[in-house]
Amino acid sequence: METKFDKTVEILFELKISDVMRRDIITLGPKDKMSVLKSTLQKHRISGVPVVDGGALVGVVSIEDLIKWLSDEGRDCYIEDIMSKNLQCLYADQPLMHAVKKFDQYGYGRFPVLERESGRLAGIITRGVIINGTLKKLEMEYKEEEIRQYRASHFFGDITADEKNVSLQFKIKGNDFDNAGKASTTMKKNLKRLGIRPDIIQRVAIASYEAEMNVVIYTDGGTMQYNIAEDHISIEVTDNGPGIEDIEKAMQPGFTTSESWVKELGFGAGMGLPNIKKCSDTMDLQSTVGAGTTLKIEIFIGEDDEATGNY
């Protein structure tokens, strides 16, 4: 049972609010009458309606507001006089987990969902919508899992996950400037989907990119292994040579052994290793000339990480 629960939590981080929210929203205007609210709720069998003025969300009015208004004699007035204006909203690009937390925190029946850039109302989310979305995804993953079991095992090769750790491995080709940076950009997207704090992602992205470029520029290729644990993210980069002659020198800002054509592309400025060091909490660099280099770095996720800390 426990693994099932972990899977649900994973899905709540994986899905975005925009993946499950209702988009066919019924709205009312602030100058609509309360009698219209009554008939709208009845007609659509819903319990609350966002109030929109010229595309912008200005309030929410619910069946509780209607009941309260009826018990206060129910004289017809504008919705804007009754609606709650102190709005709690969610953004379409947030992980579904944010919505779950918000329902826990406020106990409301629904939250309007806004498009982050424009601030416009994009949809609405209720507890029912979350449950349906999660179940659908679980069912889909279950089906995919069944299909996967028929397939060759190398599909499992680059990703392995147990209860608390996620690992990903990338192969990096030496001198392949066209694909250079791909591991780091892919990883950045994954971390974002996992709900890792932006400043942590930023540090991982910089360290990872510099390490990846070092493999591309100076070696015949290597691998990058990312490990995401509860409290830290680690990256292990290995290559098969040529190796670093003097690590102390290589760590000095500005020191470089790269050729001039590489420099002209804007690489090889002797800032890579110092950048990595600045971004990581621990860094270990081991190298043997002729054999290869192994770089291990860790970035701690920290305790005030609200997105993952409680789950």
Partner 1 sequence: MKLQEIIKQCGFEMKTQHGELIRDVTGGYSSDLLSDVMAHAKDGNLWITLQTHSNIVAVAVLKNLAGIVLVNNRTPEEGTLAKANEENIPIMTTKLTTFEIVGKLYEMGIKGN
Least distance (Å) between residue 272 CB and partner 1: 6
Least distance (Å) between residue 189 CB and partner 1: 9
- SS3 of residue 230 by DSSP: coil
Q: H/E element holding 44? A: helix 34-44
Least distance (Å) between residue 286 CB and partner 1: 22
Number of residues that bind partner 1 (CB under 8 A): 25
Exactly one of 7, 173, 182, 197 binds partner 1 (CB under 8 A); that residue is 182
Looking at the DSSP assignment, which residues form a beta bridge with residue 133?
A: none
Exactly one of 46, 69, 200, 210 binds partner 1 (CB under 8 A); that residue is 210
What token pair was written down for 305?
A: 């990480």
Which residues touch 258 (CB under 8 Å, ≥6 apart)? 217, 218, 267, 268
In the bound state with partner 1, the residue whose beta carbon lies nearer, of 50 and 268, is 268
Exactly one of 225, 275, 296, 305 binds partner 1 (CB under 8 A); that residue is 275
Specify the stretch interacting with partner 1 by CB under 8 A; choose among 13-21, 234-242, 264-272, 282-290: 264-272
Interaction between residue 265 and partner 1 (CB under 8 A):
yes
Interaction between residue 170 and partner 1 (CB under 8 A):
no
Interaction between residue 266 and partner 1 (CB under 8 A):
yes
According to DSSP, the β-strands at 90-91 and 110-114 are: parallel
CB 150, CB 41: distance < 8 Å: no
Interaction between residue 181 and partner 1 (CB under 8 A):
yes
Interaction between residue 272 and partner 1 (CB under 8 A):
yes
Interaction between residue 252 and partner 1 (CB under 8 A):
no
Cα atoms found within 13 Å of the Cα of residue 197, Cβ hemisphere only = 17
Interaction between residue 185 and partner 1 (CB under 8 A):
yes
User: Of 102, 68, 103, 71, which is closest to residue 83 (Cα–Cα)?
Assistant: 68
Interaction between residue 188 and partner 1 (CB under 8 A):
yes
Taking the C-alpha atoms of residue 39 and residue 46, their distance in angstroms, rounded to an integer, is 11
